[in-house]
Chains A and B, each alone.
Chain A
Amino acid sequence: MSTNPVVHVDNLALHFVSADSVVEALKGITLNIGPGEVVGIVGESGSGKSVTALNMLRLLPRGKTKIPHGAVSVLGRDVLAMGEKELQKVRGGEVSMIFQEPMTALNPVLRVREQMFDVILRHQKITPAAAEKLSIQLLQDMKIQDAERVFNAYPHELSGGMRQRVMIAMAFSCQPKLIVADEPTTALDVTVQAQILNLLKERAKATQTSVMLITHDLAVVAQLCDRVYVMYKGKIVEEGVTRDVIGDPQHIYTRALLNALPEGKTPKSRLETVAAAMIEGGDKVAATPITASAQAGFTQFGRAQPLFEAVNATVRYAKKYNFFGRPISYNTAVDHVNLSLYEGETLSIVGESGCGKTSFANSIVGLVPLAEGELRYKGKRLQDHDEITRREVQIVFQDPQSSLDPRWPIWRIMTEPLTVGKTPGRSELRETAEGLCQLVGLDPRSIDRLPHEFSGGQRQRIAIGRALSVHPRLLLLDEPTSALDVSVQAQILNLLLDLQEKYQLSYLFISHNVAVVRHISDRVAVMYMGKVVESGTAEQVLTNPTDAYTRTLMEAVPTLERAFAAA
Chain B
Amino acid sequence: MSDVKSNPAAIIDAAKNEMNPLSVQGRFNRAKLKQVANVEIVIAFILFTIIVVLALFGSFFQTHDPMQGDLMKRFYKVGQDGYILGSDHLGRDLWSRAVAGLQWSMACALTANIINLMIGTTLGLMAAEREGWARTIIRQITDTLQSFPFMVVAIVVVVIVGHGFIPLVMTLGLLSWVVFMRVVYAEATSIYQRDYVKAARIAGVNRFAIMFGHVLPGVRASLFVIFAFHFAGLLIAESALSFLGIGAPLGVPTWGNMLAESRQYLLKAPGMLLVPAGAIVMAVITMNLVGDGIASLSRKRGRSIDV
Name A residues whose Cβ lies closer than 8 Å to a Cβ of B.
16, 18-21, 23, 25, 46, 50-51, 54, 57, 59-61, 63-65, 91-92, 97, 99, 105-107, 110, 115, 118-119, 122, 170, 182, 365-367, 387, 390-391, 394-395, 397, 399, 402-407, 413, 416-417, 419-421, 450, 452, 463, 466, 470
Binds A, one of B15-23, B79-87, B143-151: B15-23
A61–B22 Cα gap in the complex (Å)?
A: 19
A403–B200 Cα gap in the complex (Å)?
A: 10
Contact with A along B186-224 (1 / 0, CB 8 A): 000000001110111111111001000110011000000
Question: Which residues of B have CB within 8 Å of A18?
Answer: 2, 5-6
A53 to chain B, nearest CB (A): 9
Known: A25-B8, A402-B195, A406-B306. A366 touches B202 (CB 8 A): yes
Question: Which residues of A have CB within 8 Å of B5?
Answer: 18-19, 64
26 A/B residue pairs, CB under 8 Å, sorted by A? A23-B6, A46-B9, A54-B19, A59-B18, A60-B15, A61-B14, A61-B15, A64-B6, A97-B20, A99-B16, A170-B21, A182-B16, A391-B204, A397-B195, A402-B194, A403-B196, A404-B196, A405-B194, A407-B218, A416-B199, A416-B205, A417-B204, A417-B205, A420-B204, A420-B206, A466-B199
- Which residue of the partner chain, among A118, A391, A406, contacts B22 with CB atoms under 8 Å? A118
A50–B304 Cα gap in the complex (Å)?
A: 21
- Which residue of the partner chain, among A46, A59, A397, contacts B15 with CB atoms under 8 Å? A59
Question: Which residues of A have CB within 8 Å of B196?
Answer: 402-405, 413
Question: Which residues of B have CB within 8 Å of A421?
Answer: 204
Counting from the closest, the 5 A-B pairs by CB-CB distance are: A18-B6, A417-B203, A403-B195, A59-B15, A397-B195
B299 to chain A, nearest CB (A): 14
Q: For the complex, is B11 an interface residue (Cβ under 8 Å from A)?
A: yes
B21 to chain A, nearest CB (A): 5
A20–B4 Cα gap in the complex (Å)?
A: 12
Question: Which residues of B have CB within 8 Å of A20?
Answer: 2, 6
- Which residue of the partner chain, among B8, B209, B305, contacts A16 with CB atoms under 8 Å? B8
Q: For the complex, is B31 an interface residue (Cβ under 8 Å from A)?
A: yes
Residues A97 and B19 in contact, CB atoms below 8 Å apart: yes
Question: Which residues of A have CB within 8 Å of B205?
Answer: 416-417, 419-420
Is chain B's interface secondary structure helix, strand, loop, or mixed overall? helix
Question: Which residues of B have CB within 8 Å of A97?
Answer: 19-20
Closest to A106 in B: B22
With A60-B15, A417-B203 known, 16 other A-B pairs at CB within 8 A are: A18-B5, A20-B2, A50-B16, A64-B11, A91-B19, A99-B16, A99-B20, A105-B20, A110-B22, A170-B21, A367-B202, A390-B204, A407-B305, A416-B199, A420-B203, A452-B305
Q: For the complex, is B12 an interface residue (Cβ under 8 Å from A)?
A: yes
Known: A107-B22, A118-B22, A452-B304. A50 touches B12 (CB 8 A): yes
Tell me the B1-57 residues at the A interface (CB within 8 Å). 2, 5-6, 8-9, 11-12, 14-16, 18-22, 31
Residues A406 and B8 in contact, CB atoms below 8 Å apart: no
A390–B21 Cα gap in the complex (Å)?
A: 48
B12 to chain A, nearest CB (A): 5
The residue among B196, B214, B306 with the most chain A CB atoms within 10 A of its own CB is: B196
Residues A416 and B2 in contact, CB atoms below 8 Å apart: no
A406–B218 Cα gap in the complex (Å)?
A: 9
The residue among B6, B206, B217 with the most chain A CB atoms within 10 A of its own CB is: B6
Total A-B Cβ pairs within 8 A: 117
Question: Which residues of A have CB within 8 Å of B22?
Answer: 105-107, 110, 115, 118
Name B residues whose Cβ lies closer than 8 Å to a Cβ of A.
2, 5-6, 8-9, 11-12, 14-16, 18-22, 31, 194-196, 198-206, 209, 213-214, 217-218, 304-306
A391–B204 Cα gap in the complex (Å)?
A: 8
Residues A395 and B202 in contact, CB atoms below 8 Å apart: yes
Residues B16 and A59 in contact, CB atoms below 8 Å apart: yes
A17 to chain B, nearest CB (A): 8
Closest to B13 in A: A50
B124 to chain A, nearest CB (A): 19
Residues A397 and B198 in contact, CB atoms below 8 Å apart: yes
Closest to B20 in A: A105
A413–B213 Cα gap in the complex (Å)?
A: 11
A65–B5 Cα gap in the complex (Å)?
A: 12
Question: Which residues of B have CB within 8 Å of A63?
Answer: 31
A508 to chain B, nearest CB (A): 14
A399 to chain B, nearest CB (A): 6
- Which residue of the partner chain, among B2, B199, B204, contacts A397 with CB atoms under 8 Å? B199
A367–B6 Cα gap in the complex (Å)?
A: 41
B171 to chain A, nearest CB (A): 35
A395–B202 Cα gap in the complex (Å)?
A: 8
Residues B195 and A23 in contact, CB atoms below 8 Å apart: no
- Which residue of the partner chain, among A367, A397, A466, A470, contacts B201 with CB atoms under 8 Å? A367
Residues A450 and B305 in contact, CB atoms below 8 Å apart: yes
Known: A59-B15, A452-B304. A387 touches B204 (CB 8 A): yes
A390–B209 Cα gap in the complex (Å)?
A: 17
A327 to chain B, nearest CB (A): 13
Question: Which residues of B have CB within 8 Å of A399?
Answer: 195
B110 to chain A, nearest CB (A): 27
Closest to B205 in A: A420
A124 to chain B, nearest CB (A): 13
Question: Which residues of B have CB within 8 Å of A391?
Answer: 204
Closest to B12 in A: A50
A466–B205 Cα gap in the complex (Å)?
A: 13
- Which residue of the partner chain, among A119, A365, A367, contacts B21 with CB atoms under 8 Å? A119
The residue among B5, B12, B14, B194 with the most chain A CB atoms within 10 A of its own CB is: B12
